[in-house]
Amino acid sequence: MYRVLIVEDEPAIAETMKKQIECWGNEAACVTDFQNVVAKFASYDPHLVLMDIMLPFYNGYHWCTEIRKISDVPVIFVSSASDNMNIVMAMNMGGDDFITKPFDLTVLTAKINALLRRTYDMGSRISVLEHNGAVLNLGDATVTYQGNKTELTKNDFLILKTLMENKGKTVSRDTLMTKLWQMDCYVEENTLTVNVTRLRKKLEQAGLKDFIKTKVGAGYIIE
């Protein structure tokens, strides 16, 4: 079962696409907050995106570019603006296909299924974790915030991944030390503090101040 994210501001069209996708045994979700499309993308973690061009606040080209900063998930543009310039622009902005409105539901389904087949029968997909605008790419160990990408070391990545997977919960120091050094019994406890401090500095430089909080005597948390 695949997940499809629908970025379409006409509720009737969005619901029609959603029902058609679900009829074929897949899942679908519609974006309703058009100022925070990337946050919805990260939390839903879709296998494919259907993207309108004319949207409130920012157009579909903008959101496709933002998604491309953190993921290679396939994007199909769906728009009535189907002149050659818009089709070329859609492809140049990272789109994988273009469907013209009004569309036939069987054509929409065929294009979705073909792109899903080509993408996921030939390789694995890249997942992301998101919290308060920070997007952790599990494929290339980078964190992106407000369009700026920061590379992480192996330990940076493991700490941040563990905390983001448990956001809202305190993760003990012992848990983090086990994640980082596994069976090595000779690692000093202060080594974890050094690693967390280094990660915090890196996050602050990216604009994420106080992203990781200390729970004295308990561990660390992303609230």
- What's residue 124's pLDDT? 52
pLDDT at 33: 93
- Predicted pLDDT of residue 28: 95
Give the C-alpha distances (Å, rounded to integers) separating 204 from 3, 43, 80, 197.
Answer: 33, 23, 42, 11
**pLDDT tens-digit profile of 155-199?**
898 899 999 989 999 999 888 888 887 644 555 668 888 999 999
Cβ neighbours around 167 below 10 Å, total: 14
73-106 tens-digit pLDDT:
899 998 887 677 778 887 877 888 888 888 888 8
Range with lowest mean pLDDT among 47-51, 150-154, 186-190, 210-214: 186-190
pLDDT bracket for residue 149 (50, 70, 90): confident
- Write out pLDDT tens, residues 9-63: 999 999 999 999 998 888 999 999 999 999 999 889 899 999 998 999 999 899 9
pLDDT at 171 (0 to 100): 93
- pLDDT value at residue 125: 56
Q: Would you list the DSSP string of the chain? A: --EEEEE-S-HHHHHHHHHHHHHTT-EEEE---TT-HHHHHHHH--SEEEE-SS-SSS-HHHHHHHHHTT----EEEEES--SHHHHHHHHHTT-SEEEESS--HHHHHHHHHHHHHHHHSSSPPPPEEEETTEEEETTTTEEEETTEEEE--HHHHHHHHHHHHTTTSPEEHHHHHHHHHTT-TT--HHHHHHHHHHHHHHHHHTT-TT-SEEETTTEEE--
Q: What is the pLDDT of residue 85?
A: 78
Q: What is the pLDDT of residue 72?
A: 85
Taking the whole predicted model, whether its pTM rises above 0.75 is answered as no
pLDDT tens, residue by residue, 112-148: 988 888 888 755 555 788 888 888 988 778 898 888 8
